[in-house]
Every structure is written in C-alpha cells, then in structure tokens.
A and B are shown apart, each in its own frame.
Chain A
Amino acid sequence: MGHPQPPHDPRGALVRPYAVTRGRTEPQRHIPIEAVLVASQAAVQEARFAGHDKYRIAVLCEPRAQSLAEIAAYCRLPLGVARVLVADMVADGLLSLHSAAPKEGFTERMDLLERVLSGLRKL
C-alpha cells in the first residue's frame, strides 16, 4: 500500500507560507517533529469545516498515525506552518497527539530503548 495522498492543493506555491495560519507563527503548544497524530473518522468529518489545510491534515492522519514531519512533507507545508495548524487541531479536538519518547525515568527510557532495539533486529 502506498502513502496516503492528501487531496491536491490547487493553490500550489502561490500562497505565502504563513497566510494559511493567518499570519500566526507561534503554535499553541510545542509539538516535537517526531510526535505522531491521529484523526478519528468523526474528526475528519468535523475538519471539513475547519478549512482546506486542516481538512487535508485530518484526512492524512485518519488511516494511520503520522508525525508532524510527515504532515508537513505530504501536505507540502513548511514545518513551522504545519506545527501551528496541528497545534490548533489538537486544541480543537480534531487530532489526538501521541507521546514522543520519554525523556525522563530510567525504567521508561530503558524500556523504550529495548523495544526499539528489538524492532531493529527484526528488520
């Protein structure tokens, strides 16, 4: 199965990067580049009314979890723009934000490393 293709954006590169965020450059919350986001089917329906870019993002994150980096790449948005939109969508309940790797706690960090190691060995 190929990658999910977001709906085509006919505006191409003509839109200045931060126009889609109405000029805002600061996200409501910082989202790590590798944090993954998921949209439910209900959220996709709701996102139809949230504007073109947010709808594209919801459609992309419905069949499988996508990182902020993937959202930016597939939707051809600069990372900073994608981060503002995604933070809005999390605040509005259109996307659920999943955790990036734990930064603290020996046991939590070691568990994750062990899982990643075993995943790599199975490749």
Chain B
Amino acid sequence: MDFASSERAGAQPKEITSAKIVVAGGFGVGKTTMVGAVSEIEPLTTEAVMTSAGVGVDDSSKVPGKETTTVAMDFGRITMADDLILYLFGTPGQTRFWFMWDELIRGAVGAAVLVDTRRISDAFAPLDYFENRHLPYLVALNCFDGAPRYEPEEVREALAIAPHVPLIMCDARHRDSVKQVLVGVVEHAMATLVAEQGRGFQPTPVG
C-alpha cells in the first residue's frame, strides 16, 4: 500500500508486514524482562522527548519548572518470516505518560497487562486504561520467586477483572512461559475479532 517510492528505493520483492503486541504494567513489574525473554535482539530503548510544562509558552526561561522529560519505551523483535515481523513494546512505567500508551496501542494486535502479585494495587491504573480501550488484552500474573501465590480467581476478584478477560500465570524470565502469554494474547484477539464479526460489528459483503 505505502509503496509509492518503491521505484526509486529499488524493487523490494515483498511487502513486509509488521505487527505489535504491547506489554503493559506498573513500574518494575518485569515488562522488559518479558520482552527480553523472547526477543531476538537485546531489548532496545526508544525515547520520546517532551516538555513537561509550559505548553504554549514560547520562552522557556520564563517558566522555572519547565523541563524536558524523556519517556523511554523498551521493545524487542521477533522476525517470523521474511515478510512478517512481530514487535513487542513495553509501556513506559510511569502511568502519567498515558498519551504514549495511546500511541503504542494504536494498531496493536493486543496487549498483556503484567501484574506483580506482591504489588497488586499497581495494576489498577493499567487495567483501568485497557478497560476503556478497544483493544483485546489479557492479564498475566508474573509469579516472582517467593511472591505470594494467589489463586487466579482471587486475583480476578481483587482486581475486578471482567469475566471475558483471560487471566494466566507466567514467569516473565522464561521464554516458554512468555511464549504462552503471547499465544494467549493472539488467541484472545482472534476470539474477539470473531465475536465482533458475529455481532455484525464489521459487516462482510454477502456473496
């Protein structure tokens, strides 16, 4: 589609599609660990620079509290085929950067909200965020060593997670466990898409 410049940039044999899955959660919950467990590259950090105050003020020297803030997002990559790449993006830990979350989830396949069972209340803000977005997500309980173990249903109740949202246990350090979380995200996204289709959310042409 966006291939207008291909004549000059040289003929590429195939259009490459990239997809992304978002790993969300509070600060220090293990998002980068989770990304790193399956990524083919060491997780990279991309930074967005913004001014934290003084929007619309031309002369920054007149705004004593004005500072540029850097929002960092860690991400990883899985090259699945020569024409398919999956990116995993961790959200910025600080929940005040909601607008960056908006950019990250745009066009995403789905999201996993990572929850540390030792600090369950840190999950409220990320969960609130996804409840109000049109993006399939699941909740992954990161079971650190020695962390209090709860039954998944206890956690579901404590966090008031809706019945249709999958809840799974994981260990963000282990590749197979993270793989299962991502498989869960995609399966949930497929089920959501089928359900939308069934409700006539996206009418298909008959014929």
Contacts and interface: CB of A to CB of B under 8 A. Distances in A.
Chief secondary structure at chain B's binding surface: mixed
A41 to B, nearest CB: 7
A28 B145 CA distance: 49
15 contacts: A32-B106, A33-B103, A34-B18, A36-B16, A38-B12, A40-B9, A41-B10, A43-B10, A67-B85, A78-B47, A98-B2, A100-B107, A101-B19, A117-B190, A119-B78
A35 interface: yes
Contacts of A84: none
Contacts of B182: 120
A74 B1 CA distance: 26
A71 B187 CA distance: 30
Contact of A98 (B18, B44, B87): B18
A6 interface: no
B169 interface: no
A120 to B, nearest CB: 5
Interface residues of B, number: 55
A110 B1 CA distance: 18
Interface in B144-192: 175, 179, 182-183, 186-187, 189-190
Given A110-B193, A121-B183, 14 more contacts: A33-B89, A34-B19, A34-B20, A42-B8, A42-B10, A67-B18, A67-B85, A72-B47, A90-B5, A94-B8, A98-B16, A100-B20, A116-B109, A119-B78
B46 interface: yes
Interface in A8-41: 17, 32-36, 38-41
B16 A65 contact: yes
B48 A78 contact: yes
Interface residues of A, number: 54
- Among B16, B77, B89, B182: residue with most chain A CB under 10 A: B16
Interface of B: 1-3, 5-10, 12, 15-20, 38, 41, 44-49, 70, 73, 75, 77-78, 80-81, 84-87, 89, 103-104, 106-109, 175, 179, 182-183, 186-187, 189-190, 193-194, 197, 202, 204
Contacts of B86: 116, 119-120
B3 A106 contact: no
Contact of B9 (A34, A36, A96): A96
Contacts of A73: 44-46, 75
A123 B7 contact: no
A13 B21 CA distance: 31
Nearest to A117: B186
A56 to B, nearest CB: 15
Contacts of A35: 2, 18
B196 to A, nearest CB: 8
Nearest to B182: A120
Contacts of A42: 8-10
A69 B8 contact: no
Given A38-B12, A116-B80, A123-B38, A101 B46 contact: no
A52 interface: no
